[in-house]
Amino acid sequence: METPTPTISVIIPLYNKEREIGATLRSVLAQTRLPQEIIVVNDGSTDRSAEIVRSIPSPLVRLVDQPNAGECAARNRAVAEATGDYIALLDADDEWQPGFLAEIEAMIREFPGCGVYCTAFNIVSHDGRFPARTPRRRGVVENFFRDSAHCYIAIPSASCIPRRVFDAVGGFPEGMKIAGDLYMWIKIARRFPVCFSPEPLADYSRVASNRSAATYTPERTAYSFEELYDPTAPEEEREFIARAALGKALILSAKGGTEEAARAIRTFSYTKTYRRTLRKVRVLNALPVRWRAPLIGAYNALAWRIARKGL
């Protein structure tokens, strides 16, 4: 019996991305396998972002307006509005290569029952476009938490989630402004297998305007990585949670979130794999607040140059 064609909705949270959203939408409309619909949730933008979306001449594009509530809330609203059986995520400043949705559909057919379908991606920076470090094997990932230790498996703009998975694990953590995607991957990977393609079919931008981490304000949310921690879970899962929490703590500390970072240090000091990240948070959090952002910015710029050289 022939397998029914998967119905795929594309969801895009939008906040002040007037420079990028047009190209993002055009990359979806250029797919060799078009989606059922493209739901753009305008999360209270104050620039021309919504106007640009309305100007796109395609019946597939639907704009939904809401007061500003954050990226996770915008994604959840888009999921609620979508009608497809599969939800493909895309940020408003990233783009897809023409074969992205075709490869997602192929994986859905070949590897049914997974909790998220992902592809490799390129990183777009001021000095060029470079492949991210990702797995090389196509198919079901053997151990998501272990295999994510030193490479990327899932990012929002290169992932598609079956609707039934949202029904099982819930939505994105509303109010969480940093690392809400990692929170979601943890919930999914605990209950479902993850499928991956090494084809680099998405472009993640490091140079877009209005990066969320650059405009951080204190979070007001009921969700945290502390609540996800389970001392009886496998070590690789506990390490992944520590990685996510400590990486977030670096950003919080740089923006002045001293107490939040200190709590992460106390909670996740058990880590063995990410001792270097733990030390960075400790050192940064001990410095005067005014020194932190310039210091971590310089460190990250140097780390990017080193990574570019393959070192």
Q: What are phi and psi of 204, to 5 degrees?
A: -100, 125
Superfamily per CATH, domain 8-208: Spore Coat Polysaccharide Biosynthesis Protein SpsA; Chain A (3.90.550.10)
pLDDT, residue 300, reads 80
Query: Could you tell me if 116 and 194 are in contact, meaning their C-beta atoms sit under 8 angstroms apart?
Result: yes
The two beta strands, 8-14 and 37-43, are parallel
Contacts of 51 (CB under 8 A, 6+ apart): none
Q: Identify which of 136, 169, 147 has the alpha carbon closest to the alpha carbon of residue 236.
A: 147
* pLDDT < 50 positions in the chain: 1, 213-215, 311
Bridge partners, residue 153, by sequence: none
pLDDT, residue 304, reads 72
In the DSSP assignment, the letter for residue 83 is -
The pLDDT tens digits for 239-254 are 999 999 999 999 999 9
How far is C-alpha 28 from the geometric centre of its chain's CA atoms?
A: 18
For residue 283, the SS3 value is: helix
Amino acid at 155: I
Q: Where are the domains of the chain?
A: 8-208, 224-308
pLDDT, residue 311, reads 42
Amino acid at 17: K
pLDDT, residue 299, reads 79
pLDDT, residue 296, reads 85
pLDDT, residue 219, reads 83
pLDDT, residue 126, reads 83
